[in-house]
Amino acid sequence: MSFTVAIDGPAASGKGTIARAVAARFGFAHLDTGLLYRAVGARTLLGEEPEVAARALRAEDLDNEDLRTPEVAQAASRVAAIPEVRAALVDFQRSFAMRAGGAVLDGRDIGTVICPEADVKLFVTASAEVRARRRHAELVGKGHDVTPGQVLADIRERDARDAGRADAPMVAAEDAMHLDTSTLDIDAAVEAACAEVARHR
Ligand SMILES: Nc1ncnc2c1ncn2[C@@H]1O[C@H](COP(=O)(O)OP(=O)(O)OP(=O)(O)O)[C@@H](O)[C@H]1O
Ligand SMILES: Nc1ccn([C@@H]2O[C@H](COP(=O)(O)O)[C@@H](O)[C@H]2O)c(=O)n1
C-alpha cells in the first residue's frame, strides 16, 4: 500500500535533510524533486533547450554531485518557471509517490500539485538569513568560493522566482503542517517531522 509524505519549502530550508531522515526512519523511498529541475537546468547551461532536456531526462541523470552548485540552482529555478518543463516531469514524480512501501518527496509543489492527496504534508521554512548561513557553510565545506552575501542574494532571487511564477508556484498547501527550523537544530527538526508522520501512520 502507498503512503506519501510531501515536504515543500524554500531554498535551503532543510526540507531535504528532513525528507532523508523521515525516509530512513520509516523505511520509505525518497525523491529530491529539486534534482529533476537541477538536471534540466544543468543541460540548458550546456546549450540544450529546456523542454527537450526535460523530456529526455533519465533517473541516472540525478546521480551527479555537480548538480549542487549555485549556478545550477539558478538555472533550475529559471527552467522551473516553464510550464512545458514542469508538465514533462509530473508522471515520474507521481509514479514515485505511489510506490508500495511509502515515499517521501521534497520540493516546491508536492503538497499542492504533484500529490494533493498526500497522507502527510509539511511546509518547512527558516529565515532567509539562517538559510543562507547554513547553505554558505555547506558550500564552503565542499570547496566553493562564495561569500555569505552571494548565497543570501541567490536564495532571495530563487525564492522570489519560485513563489512568483504562474505555474505551480511555491506555496504551502492549506492542510500542511508548518515547520520553522530557524531555531531548531537538525535533530529537533527531524523529530518534529517524524512525530507528524507517526500521527498519520
Ligand atoms: N535544522 C537545521 N539546523 C542546522 N542546519 C541545518 C538544519 N537543517 C538543515 N541544515 C543544513 O542546512 C543546509 C541546507 O539543508 P537542506 O539541503 O536539507 O535544505 P533544502 O531545503 O533541501 O535545500 P534545497 O532547496 O537546496 O534543496 C544543509 O547544509 C543542512 O545540513
Ligand atoms: N518540486 C520542485 C522542486 C524544485 N523546483 C525548482 O528547482 C530549483 C532547485 O530546487 P532545490 O530544491 O534543489 O533547491 C528550485 O529553486 C525551484 O525553482 C521546483 O520548481 N519544484
Contact between residue 85 and residue 54 where contact means Cβ atoms under 8 Å apart: yes
Nearest CA to ligand 1 atom 15: 14
**pLDDT given for residue 39 in this prediction:** 98
Beta carbons within 8 Å of 184's beta carbon, 6+ residues apart: 192
Ligand 1 pocket member 131 (CB < 6 A): no
pLDDT at 65: 87
Residues in the chain: 201
Give the pLDDT band (50/70/90) at residue 1: confident
- For residue 172, which amino acid is it? A
Least confident of 65-69, 86-90, 113-117, 122-126: 65-69
Binding residues for ATP: 9-17
- What kind of fold does domain 4-200 have according to CATH? Rossmann fold (3.40.50)
Q: How many alpha carbons lie under 13 Å from residue 85 in its C-beta half-sphere? A: 26
Q: Which residues contact 169 (CB under 8 A, 6 or more apart)?
A: 108, 109, 162, 163
Please, are residues 36 and 56 in contact by the beta-carbon 8 Å criterion? no
User: Minimum-distance ligand to the CA of 192?
Assistant: 1
pLDDT tens digits, residue range 142-194?
999 999 999 999 999 999 999 999 999 999 999 999 999 999 999 999 999 99
C-beta 13 within 6 A of ligand 2: no
Q: Where are the domains of the chain?
A: 4-200
For residue 20, report the distance from its CA to the centre of ligand 1, in Å: 11
Give the pLDDT confidence score for residue 96 in this predicted structure: 97
Give the nearest ligand 1 atom to 68 CA.
Answer: 26
Binding residues: 9-17
How confident is the model at residue 179, as a pLDDT? 98
* Residue 65 or 159, more confident: 159
Q: In what order do the strands lie in the sheet with 4-8?
A: 29-32, 103-107, 4-8, 120-125, 177-180
Task: Check whether 30 has a pLDDT greater than 90.
Answer: yes
% of the chain exceeding 70 in pLDDT:
100
Average pLDDT over residues 104-129: 98
**Which residue would you say has higher pLDDT here, 65 or 153?**
153
From the CA atom positions of the chain, what is the Rg in Å? 16
Check residue 24 and give its pLDDT.
98
Beta-carbon contacts of 155 under 8 Å, excluding residues fewer than 6 positions away, are 10, 11, 12, 128, 131, 132, 135
Strand partners, 200: none
pLDDT at 6 over 90: yes
Phi, then psi, of 146 in degrees rounded to 5 = -130, 155
Helix (H) / strand (E) element for 30: namely: strand 29-32
State mean pLDDT over 91-95: 97
